[in-house]
Structure formats: structure tokens, C-alpha cells
Chain A
């Protein structure tokens, strides 16, 4: 692994289903982030974690949850997917909370 990986690359999901998007980094970065990117809008922060064991809410946290059990992994869970959660999801990490962010390749999620 080099950098940040995300899985799956893309997914079509029925509304009401539970889904976990996976994110793993091998750079030993302290901070990790989940964004969604929708056409015509900037990246919007969903949740973040400044260090393992801690998480915080971003601009659009409703309907999403995260955990940070260790430094490398930062999964994002949609408890009961809705069509408005159709988006491209990017995971990112930075050495410290104040640093440059490195992005994963993204997960394209469609909720029908």
C-alpha cells in the first residue's frame, strides 16, 4: 500500500441499506477526514479525526458515523442510506490537523 486507499471504488446501493466505506493510509498520519463532493459544490467535510481514538463532526455529519480505532483506518458508515447521499466520497489524511491533506482515489456511491 502506498498512500491512501479506499474501497469500494464504486457502489450502487438500495435506499435503507447500511454501507461502510473503507479508508486506509500507510503514511502514519495523525489526522484523517471524510469529504463528499457533489457537482457544483465544494468538498464538504463529513467527519474528521485529529488522532486515533478521537473523532469530530464536520459540516454535513447527519446520516454518517465514523470510528478511529487505530492510526491507519477510518471507516465511514451510512446507517440507512438515502438518495441524497449519492455522491463521490473522498478520504484524506494529513500528518497533523494543520497540515497539507492527501486524498484517496474516492468512492462513487449511488443510492437508489
Chain B
């Protein structure tokens, strides 16, 4: 079966750095996405990785290791507005997105 694993919840302090991990087992791999979803709102796109390595975009970075079936999202200089759920999704061999349940990130002052 296809499976995406993420921690259910994480807590971090304003101004700090947090790493949210995602491991996957899917039928084929055609890219990995990270989305942010604030409570009661729609998911919004953060990053996309298809090759191994680190993609940096401002305070957010995303890393991929295809051989390990592993990705992480790194958030630096945390702000209160970063409190949200972070969703990992893998595009499988049929080009459909398989979604993890999301990691709820709580930022404390």
C-alpha cells in the first residue's frame, strides 16, 4: 500500500528553527510537495522537490532523499504566523498526489 508518515504535532518557540520530517512508501515517485494549511483555510503550496537535495525559498527549505524515501521541511526564524499544519504529498506513478495527514505546528512566544 501507499503510505506517507509525518509527526502529528510539533511545538517550537518563536525565532527558533524547526524541522518537520516526512517518510513515504509509494508506488513510484514523481515529486514531493509541501503545503501549508492554516486552521479553517485551504492548503497553499510551499515547495516542490523531484531531485535529491535541498531547495531553499526564503525562511523555508525542503530536502529530499529518494533512496531513503525521506523529506523534511525546515522553517527558520519562526514567526507566530507559521502556526499551521504542514502537509507532505508525494506524486505516484499515476501522477496522483498521495497526502500525509499533516503535522500541526504550534509556535509559542
- Given A98-B30, A100-B48, answer yes or no on A43-B42 (Cβ-Cβ < 8 Å): no
Number of A-B contacts (CB under 8 A): 42
Q: How long is the Cα–Cα vector from A41 to B99 in the complex, in angstroms? A: 9
Contacts of B96 in A (CB 8 A): 45, 48, 58
Number of interface residues of A (CB under 8 A): 18
Q: Is B87 an interface residue (CB 8 A)?
A: yes
Distance to closest chain A CB from B59 (angstroms): 19
Pick the most buried of B41, B45, B91: most chain A CB atoms within 10 A of its CB: B45
Q: Is A105 an interface residue (CB 8 A)?
A: yes
Q: Is A34 an interface residue (CB 8 A)?
A: no
Contacts of A101 in B (CB 8 A): 33, 45, 97
Residue of B nearest to A99 (CB): B48
